[in-house]
Amino acid sequence: MNLNDLNELDFQDMGNWPLPAKAIAIAFLCILILFAGYWFDTKDQQAEIERLEQKEQQLKQDFMTNARKAASLELYKQQMLDMQQSFGAMLKQLPSKTEVAELLVDISQTGLASGLEFELFQPTAEIPLEFYAELPIKLRVTGQYHEFGNFVSGIAALPRIVTLHDFSIKPAGSKLVMEATAKTYRYLDEEEEAKGAAK
């Protein structure tokens, strides 16, 4: 079979084609059908398989992460209990409503014991926060540098939490003047927390 024979093939009468021409036509049709099957069906399935394989990898990673968390669950529970106990201990360091007056006395006595002279000791309005309230106290004291250090050390040694903010130290003759805001904190009782949540 040569090229001239191919030109003489009648597409209306394929049944009478020579065997090699039929074989080529059948092979071409098979290739065309396979390509069409791949293009319209298999290609989308392969893309779906790739997507599902990526999802499988993500799910495996999620599973491993969750398995590690599950294995550490008892440790997390113990850490939670430890934190609750620590939180409870810190909460006890916050004075109640009735103890605030004593704490104010402790702060002023610490200053006097350090050798400082108070020019201003002014508790300001209490600021209620989430589960505690902040009580700022404006201070202006005069003394020597080392007396200020003793005062700050004495405040840090108090059994209740008191923090000092917004320091400024200026000379005033032979002495120094320190202005600061001392903040003490108290926990809100359940009734006060409920009022705060209602607001």
Mean pLDDT of the chain: 82
Taking only the tens place, the pLDDT of each residue in 146-190 is 999 999 999 888 887 888 999 899 998 889 999 999 988 877 766
Token look-up 């104010």 returns 104
Cα gap 123→98, rounded to integer Å: 15
Taking only the tens place, the pLDDT of each residue in 105-115 is 888 899 999 99
Side-chain half-sphere CA neighbours of 70 within 13 A: 6
Q: Are 100 and 58 part of one and the same domain?
A: no
Rounded mean pLDDT of 80-106? 74
Rounded mean pLDDT of 3-9? 58
Residue 89 backbone dihedrals phi, psi, to 5 degrees = -65, -40
Rounded mean pLDDT of 54-62? 92
Q: Are 169 and 100 part of one and the same domain?
A: yes
Predicted TM-score (pTM) of the model is 0.51
State whether residue 199 is helix, strand or coil: coil
Of 148, 152, 155, the residue nearest 116 (C-alpha):
148
Of the chain, the percentage scoring pLDDT greater than 90 comes to 25
Taking only the tens place, the pLDDT of each residue in 62-76 is 999 988 888 888 888
State whether residue 142 is helix, strand or coil: strand
Q: Are 108 and 180 part of one and the same domain?
A: yes
Q: Are 185 and 112 part of one and the same domain?
A: yes
Q: Are 166 and 134 part of one and the same domain?
A: yes
Q: What total number of domains does the chain contain?
A: 2
Q: Are 106 and 183 part of one and the same domain?
A: yes
Domain that holds residue 40: 18-71
Question: 142 lies in a domain?
Answer: yes
